[in-house]
Amino acid sequence: MQRPCNAKIVATLGPTSADRATIEALVRAGANVFRLNFSHGTHTDHKQRLDLIRSIEADIGRPIGVLLDLQGPKLRVGTFANGPVKLVEGAAFRLDLDRDRPGDALRAPLPHPEIFAALKPGTELLLDDGRLRLKVEKSGKDFAETTVINGGMLSDRKGVNVPGVVLPLSAMTAKDRADLDFGLTLGIDWIALSFVQRATDIVEAQAIIRGRAGIVAKLEKPAAIECLDEILAVTDAVMVARGDLGVEMPAEQVPAIQKRIVRECRKLGKPVIVATQMLESMVSAPVPTRAEASDVATAIYDGADAVMLSAESASGKFPVEAVAMMDRIIAQTEADPHYRAAIDASHTQPLANTPDAIGWAARSVAGLLDVAAMVAYTSSGSSALRMARERPRAPIIGMTPKRETARRLALVWGVNPVVCNDVTGVDDMTERAVETAKKLQFAERGQTIVIAAGMPFGTPGSTNLLRIAQID
């Protein structure tokens, strides 16, 4: 079962999509990767869902990726003695570390010494997803005196954001480390790392993961955008977390940042997911707004590898309909002649190395000979990634002897992952590629396919071979 679309769909599982019938319906509607959001649910809940995914994968015969989304640090105010309080514009408001004393209209506990360590006069604090804004007038290691810039009601445990400040916090809490260890024992394919501020956050996670899963850096902090190049150099993939970015940055800047991230990821050949509120109205309605459909299409025109559904598929009333709608939007967009023109116009030159040269050459040959399919025989996924970077017109078949590699490739633009046996040589590889292209109905007798691989076989990142084969 292969999808005709190039862009992939990431669907979040939750209370309304936890049973086998619904998960299978989501796959058949177009989902390629499932996100397990560890901000909610228990380890038992997530294991049950993963077991169902693997069972459905075996029945359908198509590799399905699973992404574990770590919660990350959650910065929140404490509780209030008499319920919600109203913060008035221009009034003074104090935050401090005294978590044992409930808050009131004049002060609130903020049990995060790391925040106070990073504050200075003039720093702004955002509360409750940016609905309230405070400006720091004076601060110390355990307090901050602020002025209310934008007032409103504030209640227990509302979130706190500190835009423009790099907080002395690891991207992983003790809970995240426990969740990560648990997920790795289950064979999770991708780990989404929240609260990324700097490249060292990725390096810290890599030391724990040790190649057992790919890392998706969630870009949701202004600090991460400021060191985007350094983060992209070390991460395996990226998620544009537009909701959190829109809290800490002016909303009008987010579209341009999204395009920049997608463009830079495409240049490096690293998968990029566009996420948050893509079909938000479908949480409660069977159809999206026209603006939401346009939003999804824009990400596809830009060449994003994947688009993601959150509450729409996890807790909404129409999870299957949301995936089916996203699939239709992708298909319609990719069928537009302007789509191919936009993809070609935004294509960038490859890096001056052998793997990128092979990917570039494969794209050139495919265009010149009008090949039916492109085949990447790969152990690590590198050959398939180099092909996908070129955004070719022909479908890509990612053949690999490693099931975990096939599942990771389920996230990558245009790649149809297939698990195969190890090959014994170039002729054996060519024969298997031809048979697979015919079996998937991408090619038939008389047509041509292009094959890329690395020699010696099984050596990660060694893409150095290009072969043209005729279908007999």
Question: Domain containing 289 — which CATH number?
Answer: 3.20.20.60
Active site (catalytic) residues? 35, 76, 218, 276
Sequence-distant (≥ 6) Cβ neighbours of residue 181 within 8 angstroms: none
Concatenated DSSP letters for 147-210? Answer: EEEE-EEE-TT-BEE-TT---S--S--HHHHHHHHHHHHHT-SEEEEPS--SHHHHHHHHHHHT
Average pLDDT of the chain?
A: 95
The residue out of 138, 161, 184 marking a domain boundary is: 161
High-pLDDT (> 70) share of the chain, %? 99
Mean pLDDT across 174-203: 97
Assigned domain for 462 exists:
yes
What is the band of 4 on the pLDDT scale with cuts at 50, 70, 90? Answer: confident
Q: End-to-end alpha-carbon separation of the chain, Å?
A: 24
High-pLDDT (> 90) share of the chain, %? 90
Assigned domain for 342 exists:
no
Token pair belonging to 419: 């698990």
Residues 148 and 188 in one domain: no
Residues 33 and 61 in one domain: yes
Assigned domain for 58 exists:
yes
Sign of the Cα pseudo-torsion (106, 110, 113, 114, in order): negative
Residues 409 and 278 in one domain: no
Assigned domain for 221 exists:
yes
Residues 57 and 110 in one domain: no
CATH code at 116?
A: 2.40.33.10
According to the model, what pLDDT value does residue 399 have?
96
Residues 157 and 177 in one domain: no
**Minimal CA–CA distance to 397: which of 345, 349, 461, 453?**
453
**Minimal CA–CA distance to 445: which of 469, 413, 470, 426?**
470
Residues 319 and 195 in one domain: yes
Residues 305 and 181 in one domain: yes
Residue 98: C-alpha distances to residues 75, 79, 328 (Å): 15, 11, 53
**Minimal CA–CA distance to 187: which of 46, 72, 378, 307?**
46
Token pair belonging to 343: 């993809």
Q: What is the pLDDT of residues 104-153, one digit of tens each?
A: 999 999 999 999 999 999 999 999 999 999 999 999 999 999 999 999 99
The residue out of 281, 303, 336 marking a domain boundary is: 336
Residues 380 and 447 in one domain: yes
Assigned domain for 166 exists:
no
According to the model, what pLDDT value does residue 349 have?
87
Q: What is the pLDDT of residues 218-260, one digit of tens each?
A: 999 999 999 999 999 999 999 999 988 989 999 899 999 999 9
- How far apart, in whole angstroms, are the C-alpha atoms of residue 453 and residue 26? 33
Mean pLDDT across 15-22: 97
Residue 162: C-alpha distances to residues 159, 167, 173, 235 (Å): 10, 8, 18, 24
Q: How many domains does the chain have?
A: 3
pLDDT at 2 over 70: no
According to the model, what pLDDT value does residue 1 have?
58
Taking the whole predicted model, whether its pTM rises above 0.85 is answered as yes
Q: What is the pLDDT of residues 20-74, one digit of tens each?
A: 999 999 999 999 999 999 999 999 999 999 999 999 999 999 999 999 999 999 9
Residues 181 and 136 in one domain: no
- How far apart, in whole angstroms, are the C-alpha atoms of residue 245 and residue 222? 7
| Bridge partners (DSSP) listed for residue 10 | 33, 308
Assigned domain for 341 exists:
no
Residues 317 and 372 in one domain: no
Angle at 9 between CA 17 and CA 203, to 5 degrees: 100
CATH code at 428?
A: 3.40.1380.20
Domain that holds residue 98: 85-161
Question: Which of 144-148, 319-323, 338-342 is predicted with the least confidence, judged by mean pLDDT?
Answer: 338-342
Q: What is the pLDDT of residues 258-277, one digit of tens each?
A: 999 999 999 999 999 999 99
The residue out of 336, 365, 385 marking a domain boundary is: 336
Residues 301 and 198 in one domain: yes
Residues 314 and 441 in one domain: no
Assigned domain for 139 exists:
yes
Assigned domain for 348 exists:
no
